Amino acid sequence: MGKGDRRTRRGKIYRASYGKARPHTDVVTGVVAKPAAVKAAPAAKKAAAPRKKSA
């Protein structure tokens, strides 16, 4: 635990990165900024292969 630990707040500050331990806050509103959710087109469902009967 400490500066070398990537999972702790101190480790995130040391490495200048963000994550769950050090959420990136919006400067104007002070609210934690969430990454924009990209809405993908619904994927076509793949038909399941018929099951083989065991002998």
Residues of the chain with pLDDT under 70: 26-28, 30-45, 55
pLDDT for 18 equals: 85
Domain hosting 2: range is: 1-30
CA dihedral in degrees (26, 32, 33, 34; nearest 10)? 180
Number of domains in the chain: 1
**Residue 1: what pLDDT?**
73
Q: Let me know if residue 2 belongs to a domain.
A: yes
Task: Using a cut of 0.85, tell me whether the model's pTM lies above it.
Answer: no
pLDDT at 19: 82
pLDDT at residue 29 in the model: 72
Residue 37 lies in a domain: no
